[in-house]
Amino acid sequence: GAGVSQTPSNKVTEKGKYVELRCDPISGHTALYWYRQSLGQGPEFLIYFQGTGAADDSGLPNDRFFAVRPEGSVSTLKIQRTERGDSAVYLCASSSQPGSEAFFGQGTRLTVV
């Protein structure tokens, strides 16, 4: 596609529910990043994929968060037993290779009520 696409753009869920956030990177980009951005803050690193494998998942806050990229393209960020503190904008970015410019999607705004 022309850019990084994230769906849904907005998601409201009840506390305790499970959610999935999807990221379609730019075609051919091998590196994919997930970030979380709270209101008024800069993005916070969650996980980085190189191809199908998670090269660095040190930013995932706890075991309720999990991300996959089974075919090295689309990635899904999964959050179990959501909490109100999970409310944030979840940003996805991709780059053609490590070290090159990362292009960001518009984010998914998650609200846990």
Footprint of another protein (CB under 8 A): 4, 31, 33, 35, 40-45, 48, 50, 55-56, 58, 91, 93, 98-99, 101-107
Q: Which lies closer to another protein via its Cβ, residue 40 or residue 70?
A: 40
**In the complex, what is the shortest distance from the CB of residue 16 to another protein, in angstroms, rounded to a whole number?**
28
Contact predicate 103/6, CB 8 Å: no
**In the complex, what is the shortest distance from the CB of residue 93 to another protein, in angstroms, rounded to a whole number?**
7
Nearest 5°: phi and psi at 42?
-80, 160
The angle at the Cα of 13, spanning 90 to 57, to the nearest 5 degrees, equals 35
